[in-house]
A and B are shown apart, each in its own frame.
Chain A
């Protein structure tokens, strides 16, 4: 009978592990609590099925293990039982699917007031671009990327002139304001992922992908690349600071825009000396 006991221990152990695990969600810091909720629901339903099926199995081990001379039941089919099980399963599955689809619908429809953020990825790093006063990002082209135009902004595009350029992997976000992350990559696939925000999407070269979230907890977070992108994948990190409105505005005002950068470069070319740089900082 020990076989039954060991299987029983495995099942009980799994449930206990789940209840007492010290390793679980990293505390959420965005609006996607609904994702956690769907997972919790799935845990209850799925976990229930797992435990029920396994307990049934264990019961059979205890009750029906081999005895000389006993005969098993001979019953090829039970139409009614099979029908009940089919419909019950269908119902359970539908109950899980519905919330999944509803939340997905929210996930792919971005709120109107979201701030667009251009997240540009390459092997192996990130940089960001925020819209300027006009609230719009200028369009870009991989071919345009060079030292003077690190984001490859199309020069004729008016919207691009006042874009705020952040040539570092540290992004600042305003607390309680939705952001639309616009992902692009200049070489291979990447994925801008902050576990606390729950959301993610691949950055795909040749196209722009997006997702949105609303940070709701001031703090510092680590960005991880979540799509394999070559040997540097595991080291492709970044940081996000979620700030209160005031702190954010202060930081935002200090950033350089694309026109600043162009002006700076023209200045450098014009004077032929880097000393000018100091004058620009006021």
Chain B
């Protein structure tokens, strides 16, 4: 094979060389030439029974849908928990069963579910599995069996997590940050079985996730089809790829901290436990430090923010480009921004710890690194709006979600600059300003992208369109509602209301905010309820939606170019596609249509002013 390859090279030039018109050794260049494949076509295991086809399935697309459904299910649990919390905060005592114990358990489970079991699983497990092989032109993930195991590990992890609701003492109520010593001492709800199950569940999640993650990485690096150079990959793939690299490096920190805390709990080791006096007695711990846990946790926790954000960045770039009928502005800058943000995200973790009691000099370092990250992030924002500039913008549901994303993301990004800038953080940290900030930037903004992505790719997965009318209704309620939940919430932080407060009592500057709290709760109920519009839309459209046909959005990227819609196992029928260009050739001057799919060879669009990619 390698011999063939070398022979070929001497005779024919690569596509990028030919486009610039230089043949090698005087042989007439073939305009449409693409390097031959370096590895043989993948052999796939085809399931035959119902169980191997739909349950223990090895097809990345089915695994993606499985991840999507399970993550959505846990997300709905997280949503219901948030309703219960908002009920308590807006109308204290309205739910009779709501004790402080329950409140803290709900905060914890809500936070952990939303960040890890919902968003991370959905973006990487869901979209990653479905889209990576299709977008890079592979038949499947490189290790389909491991991929299947990955999902089932996630399934078990969710099971263990939910089981903790039913053990004595209930689930842990230590906050999603699980800070010791409090997490494993009496005085915190669920400090017995609850916290142990949480740690076990996280360990399982990380193990399962690593199996999936290795798949995504190696598939992107090794299984791209002919002509799919790295710089021709859609930004979606870049975002998911970089996020997976981060996950591979960050999750081990979570794994060891969960492990060490389990040991502190079960075997009474003292990794994180100093000498402690409880109820008049000195406990058998001594010598450890709680701040070590915080460093480990945030060494995972901050990259985690970007594990959620980078796929969202990538996906939203593609959606904006397709629906503006315009190439993404500054593709190369976008790729480098993703990579740089990813790398820098490992040097900013302690901005969550400015007032943790770590050495105060760290403040200078981490404030500086944190604000540096703002630069590539801002560049991405500029490039999104510059993509809209002089575009031909379809104001459909997908685009609305993208616009909603831009507004909420910029808003949350700006408040991030408040909190990253040490001194500004001092009065605001641990108040509702923080709650508002992170919901805006890593709750609502990525959620907007997920919704946009659902409306965009549903026709591919199901072969039918979702209803635009319901979609727009869903969007406006969600966007306006969520914005009115979180925008005013910042101001509660200014008043000084601390986060994780079950009840405010009658502090004078807190009672002044009763009205806002009621308003926020009402908005939260409405937004939560609006999500059922989507579920309804999906159920109805699955049966009665308008058939999508091939490539309904007239997109360029590969996932829309499969021989069948929805794509079948193996994706590409007999022959793998061959790639001739990047996925952003929209509205090319001189071209007949306003899009040129990635598989279109140069000879078919001769006479256009397409840029070399």
Alpha-carbon gap, A10 to B476, bound state (A)? 12
Tell me the B485-542 residues at the A interface (CB within 8 Å).
487-488, 491-492, 494-496, 498, 500-505, 507-509, 512-513, 516
Alpha-carbon gap, A268 to B66, bound state (A)? 72
Which residues of B sit under 8 angstroms from A205, Cβ to Cβ?
181, 274-276, 290
Closest chain-A Cβ to B195's Cβ sits at a distance in Å of: 12
Q: Does A35 make an interface contact (CB < 8 A)?
A: yes
Q: Does B341 make an interface contact (CB < 8 A)?
A: no
User: Does the CB pair A202–B407 fall under 8 Å?
Assistant: no
Contact with A along B259-278 (1 / 0, CB 8 A): 00000000000000011111
User: Does the CB pair A17–B488 fall under 8 Å?
Assistant: yes
Tell me the A32-68 residues at the B interface (CB within 8 Å).
32, 34-36, 38-39, 42, 46-47, 49-50, 53-54, 56-57, 60-61, 64-67
Which residues of A sit under 8 angstroms from B179, Cβ to Cβ?
188-189, 228
Given contacts A57-B385, A65-B395, A76-B327, contact A187 B483 (CB under 8 A): no
User: Does the CB pair B371–A97 fall under 8 Å?
Assistant: yes
Q: Does A23 make an interface contact (CB < 8 A)?
A: yes
Q: Does A153 make an interface contact (CB < 8 A)?
A: no
Alpha-carbon gap, A85 to B516, bound state (A)? 38
Closest chain-B Cβ to A217's Cβ sits at a distance in Å of: 14
Residue of B at shortest CB range from A39?
B424
User: Does the CB pair B371–A70 fall under 8 Å?
Assistant: no
User: Does the CB pair A73–B326 fall under 8 Å?
Assistant: yes
Q: Does B611 make an interface contact (CB < 8 A)?
A: yes
User: Does the CB pair A103–B423 fall under 8 Å?
Assistant: yes
Which of B363, B429, B495, B589 touches A23 (beta carbons < 8 Å)?
B495
Contact with A along B387-411 (1 / 0, CB 8 A): 0111111110000100100110011
Which of B325, B327, B421, B504 touches A96 (beta carbons < 8 Å)?
B421
Residue of B at shortest CB range from A43?
B418
Q: Does B330 make an interface contact (CB < 8 A)?
A: yes
User: Does the CB pair A227–B379 fall under 8 Å?
Assistant: no
User: Does the CB pair B586–A72 fall under 8 Å?
Assistant: yes
Which of A26, A64, A105 touches B389 (beta carbons < 8 Å)?
A64
Tell me the A97-124 residues at the B interface (CB within 8 Å).
97, 99-101, 103-105, 107-108, 122-123
B179, B329, B496, most chain A CB atoms within 10 A: B496
User: Does the CB pair A23–B185 fall under 8 Å?
Assistant: no
Give how many B residues have a beta carbon under 8 Å from the other chain's beta carbons. 112
Q: Does A251 make an interface contact (CB < 8 A)?
A: no
Identify which of A155-163, A166-174, A229-237 touches chain B: A229-237
Tell me the B368-397 residues at the A interface (CB within 8 Å).
368, 371-372, 374-375, 378-379, 381-382, 385-386, 388-395
Alpha-carbon gap, A82 to B489, bound state (A)? 34
Given contacts A107-B426, A206-B290, contact A97 B421 (CB under 8 A): yes
Which residues of B sit under 8 angstroms from A149, Cβ to Cβ?
none
User: Does the CB pair A78–B363 fall under 8 Å?
Assistant: no
Closest chain-B Cβ to A16's Cβ sits at a distance in Å of: 11
User: Does the CB pair A23–B492 fall under 8 Å?
Assistant: yes
Q: Does B44 make an interface contact (CB < 8 A)?
A: no
Q: Does A281 make an interface contact (CB < 8 A)?
A: no
Alpha-carbon gap, A195 to B332, bound state (A)? 46
Q: Does B584 make an interface contact (CB < 8 A)?
A: yes
Given contacts A23-B495, A77-B331, A186-B277, contact A64 B391 (CB under 8 A): yes
Q: Does B93 make an interface contact (CB < 8 A)?
A: no
Contact with A along B333-370 (1 / 0, CB 8 A): 10000000000000000000001110011011001100
User: Does the CB pair B277–A54 fall under 8 Å?
Assistant: no
User: Does the CB pair A230–B182 fall under 8 Å?
Assistant: yes
User: Does the CB pair A222–B507 fall under 8 Å?
Assistant: yes
User: Does the CB pair A100–B424 fall under 8 Å?
Assistant: yes
Q: Does A25 make an interface contact (CB < 8 A)?
A: yes
User: Does the CB pair A206–B429 fall under 8 Å?
Assistant: no
Given contacts A230-B188, A234-B503, contact A85 B392 (CB under 8 A): no
Alpha-carbon gap, A107 to B166, bound state (A)? 46
Q: Does A154 make an interface contact (CB < 8 A)?
A: no
A26, A73, A74, most chain B CB atoms within 10 A: A74
Closest chain-B Cβ to A89's Cβ sits at a distance in Å of: 5
Which of A10, A49, A145, A209 touches B483 (beta carbons < 8 Å)?
A10
Q: Does A165 make an interface contact (CB < 8 A)?
A: no
Q: Does A71 make an interface contact (CB < 8 A)?
A: yes
User: Does the CB pair A233–B375 fall under 8 Å?
Assistant: no
Given contacts A89-B374, A97-B367, contact A76 B393 (CB under 8 A): no
Closest chain-B Cβ to A73's Cβ sits at a distance in Å of: 4
Q: Does A93 make an interface contact (CB < 8 A)?
A: yes
User: Does the CB pair A231–B426 fall under 8 Å?
Assistant: no
Q: Does A270 make an interface contact (CB < 8 A)?
A: no
Q: Does A21 make an interface contact (CB < 8 A)?
A: yes
Closest chain-A Cβ to B334's Cβ sits at a distance in Å of: 10
Which of B495, B584, B587, B611 touches A26 (beta carbons < 8 Å)?
B495
Which of A10, A77, A193 touches B480 (beta carbons < 8 Å)?
A10
User: Does the CB pair B289–A72 fall under 8 Å?
Assistant: no
Give how many A residues have a beta carbon under 8 Å from the other chain's beta carbons. 101
Q: Does B133 make an interface contact (CB < 8 A)?
A: no
Q: Does A241 make an interface contact (CB < 8 A)?
A: no
Given contacts A76-B584, A187-B276, contact A202 B355 (CB under 8 A): yes
User: Does the CB pair A49–B414 fall under 8 Å?
Assistant: yes
Q: Does B431 make an interface contact (CB < 8 A)?
A: yes
User: Does the CB pair A50–B187 fall under 8 Å?
Assistant: no
Q: Does A175 make an interface contact (CB < 8 A)?
A: no
Q: Does B570 make an interface contact (CB < 8 A)?
A: no
Given contacts A7-B403, A85-B382, A142-B277, contact A201 B391 (CB under 8 A): no
B375, B586, B609, most chain A CB atoms within 10 A: B375
B393, B495, B502, most chain A CB atoms within 10 A: B393
Which residues of B sit under 8 angstroms from A46, Cβ to Cβ?
414-415, 417-418
Q: Does A279 make an interface contact (CB < 8 A)?
A: no
A26, A65, A188, A209, most chain B CB atoms within 10 A: A188
Closest chain-A Cβ to B289's Cβ sits at a distance in Å of: 6
Which residues of B sit under 8 angstroms from A100, Cβ to Cβ?
367, 421-424
User: Does the CB pair B430–A227 fall under 8 Å?
Assistant: yes
Closest chain-B Cβ to A179's Cβ sits at a distance in Å of: 16
Which of B275, B389, B407, B423 touches A206 (beta carbons < 8 Å)?
B275
Alpha-carbon gap, A8 to B391, bound state (A)? 19
Q: Does A272 make an interface contact (CB < 8 A)?
A: no
User: Does the CB pair B288–A53 fall under 8 Å?
Assistant: no
Alpha-carbon gap, A152 to B346, bound state (A)? 40
Closest chain-A Cβ to B554's Cβ sits at a distance in Å of: 12
Q: Does B203 make an interface contact (CB < 8 A)?
A: no
Tell me the A195-224 residues at the B interface (CB within 8 Å).
195-196, 198-207, 209, 222, 224
Q: Does A148 make an interface contact (CB < 8 A)?
A: no
Q: Does B175 make an interface contact (CB < 8 A)?
A: yes
**B binding-site residues for A, Cβ under 8 Å:** 100-101, 104, 173-175, 179, 181-182, 185, 187-189, 274-278, 280, 282, 288-291, 324-327, 329-333, 355-357, 360-361, 363-364, 367-368, 371-372, 374-375, 378-379, 381-382, 385-386, 388-395, 400, 403, 406-407, 410-411, 414-415, 417-418, 421-424, 426-431, 476, 480, 483, 487-488, 491-492, 494-496, 498, 500-505, 507-509, 512-513, 516, 584, 586-589, 594, 609, 611, 613
Pick 9 A–B contacts, CB within 8 A, sort by A.
A35-B423, A54-B410, A66-B395, A81-B386, A82-B382, A142-B276, A187-B278, A232-B187, A234-B100
Q: A189-B181, A193-B496 are in contact. List 10 more A-B contacts (CB 8 A).
A: A6-B480, A14-B487, A22-B512, A57-B388, A61-B393, A73-B391, A76-B613, A104-B364, A105-B364, A206-B274
Nearest 6 Cβ contacts at the A-B interface: A206-B274, A195-B496, A209-B357, A188-B182, A100-B421, A73-B390
